[in-house]
A and B are shown apart, each in its own frame.
Chain A
Amino acid sequence: MVEILFYVFAAIVLGGALGVVMGRNPITSLMFMVTSLAGISGIFVLLGAHFLAAIQIMVYAGAIMVLFLFVIMLLNLGHDYQRAVRGWGIVVLGFAVTGSLGGLLAKQLKVGSQEFYNNPEAGMVIDADLLEHGAVGVIAHPLFTDYVVAFELTGILLFVTIVGAIALAKKRV
């Protein structure tokens, strides 16, 4: 059952990703992107990361994609129906780069040892933690103990981002 669901979500994610790259209209691409993000969130659930799945929907598909949509509509790009590609030389270069990158990744995946992949105890620790602390507690505990400095720095980063975004996007006075 889990396997079948995984393949369904994987098909959704891949279709969405291809739609983003090949879409003619920016808004079409954006909607494909939302589909793809929803599929990834489904895969997160299958992998036992329930909190991240919820965050994925709320922050990524909810907030960031709506920000993109606002910008597309603000700049009035929704009427753009040509698939703008940067010239055929760049397309060939793109295929070369992605082909070599894909080959490299495939080679690395083959290197990974089979006993690591087929480890029967995989996920048992996380599943036990999930049962004990709940979906939020399992990620909140390391976040507020081991990673608390990074967490506070993230707050500072967000503040700086707000100031920077306003300063960049406002009209020159």
Chain B
Amino acid sequence: MLPESLILSALIFVIGTMGVIVRRNVIIMFLCIELQLNAVNLTFVSLSRYLGIDGQVFVFFVMTVAAAEAAVGLAIIISIFRHYGSVDVDNFRMLKW
């Protein structure tokens, strides 16, 4: 089952990359980044079956960091929305206003 799950995670990663590049809504780009993180998690878990339990411990850490990243990123999105009134990335050109 290892090659199949590696192929599956490669497919999910590619779909996530496509979403990050193509979509304009920041929240959907964020969801696609989560999708990429999940693809990597799937790779870790499927290889941990061959190489020992450490992969699963690492997935645990990845999930924690993903939660932290989602909280901070969504806070940034809220604060940008207050300023511009939209969540399109095309509006976010300036680092400071």
Q: Which A residues form the contact surface with B (CB < 8 A)?
A: 2-3, 6, 10, 13-14, 17-18, 20-21, 23, 26, 29-30, 33, 36-37, 40, 43-44, 46-49, 51-52, 55-56, 59-60, 63-64, 67-68, 71-72, 74-75, 77, 80, 84-86, 90-91, 93-95, 97-98, 101-102, 105-106, 109, 112, 116-117, 119, 122-123, 125-126, 129, 138-139, 142-143, 146-147, 150, 154, 157-158, 161-162, 164-166, 168-169, 171
Contact = CB atoms under 8 A, between A and B. Distances in A.
Main DSSP-derived SS at the A contact region? helix
A166 to B, nearest CB: 8
Contacts of A101: 13-14, 17
A168 B79 contact: yes
Interface in B1-56: 1-8, 10-19, 21-25, 27-28, 30-32, 34-35, 38, 41-42, 45-46, 48-50, 52-54, 56
Q: Which 8 A-B pairs have the closest CB atoms?
A: A94-B21, A168-B75, A84-B24, A21-B19, A169-B75, A161-B68, A105-B10, A165-B75
A52 to B, nearest CB: 6
B66 to A, nearest CB: 7
Main DSSP-derived SS at the B contact region? helix
Residue from A13, A46, A55, A154 whose CB has the most chain B CB atoms within 10 Å? A13
Interface in B80-97: 81-82, 87-90
Contacts of B22: 21, 85-86, 90-91, 94
B63 A56 contact: yes
Nearest to B90: A86
Contacts of B41: 40, 52
Given A98-B17, A102-B10, A37 B38 contact: yes
